[in-house]
Structure 1
Amino acid sequence: MKKQQWQTHVKAYNSSGLSKREYADSHKLVYHQFVYWSQKFNKAKSPSAFIPVNVTAKAQLQPQPKAACVPLGVLEYPNGARLVIHSPELLALLPSLLTR
């Protein structure tokens, strides 16, 4: 089966409401191949989970000595990206940023 045919099936599956197994069985597709192509096309079209953030508060950040650079918070995303927060001022802004 060609790439375009798989893409047609993946689009139809996405709007079908069926599980991958149900869709593959009902269209006589090899399940593991369907899963592969589904992941390939859905990964290619999924937008980044990051959103632009406008920070209006102008906090004056004071440089900290290296010995005092203990993280106050760490956000770890499923893709492995990490946001390490060392500043109390930035930590205070975090709840308002996460509710957007």
Structure 2
Amino acid sequence: MVGLGNSRRGMKSPPLLIAALVACMIILGFKYWIASSHNVDLQSRIMELERKVRRAAAERGAVELKKNEFQGELEKQREQIDKIQSLHGFQMENVHKVHQDEKGT
């Protein structure tokens, strides 16, 4: 039984070791709190950036639609210009022929 008493006395932790462990726990807790708050800040920034990306994608889609509409209108106007130019060329040929016929007669 004397051996049991000695082993209990040897199990006692020195106060310096307990103080060091408590200090480590405090430091780790503080670092965890800092990392956690930093993580929350980063997550909020990510959510904000994702929101901006979605908004930009929607705006880009709207711009693409407008661009396609304008390209369609531009193509129609080019076709009209080509028709008008060909009609004008045809009329100029007729005027030129009439003018030559009048000179000939």
Interval of TM-score (by shorter of Structure 1 and Structure 2): under 0.3
Of structures 1 and 2, the one scoring higher in RCO (CA 8 A, sep 6+) is: 1
Q: Which structure features the higher share of strand residues?
A: 1
Q: Which is higher, the Rg of structure 1 or of structure 2?
A: 2
* Higher normalized helix content (fraction of residues): 2
TM-score where L is the length of structure 1:
0.23
Scaled by the length of structure 2, the TM-score of the pair is 0.22
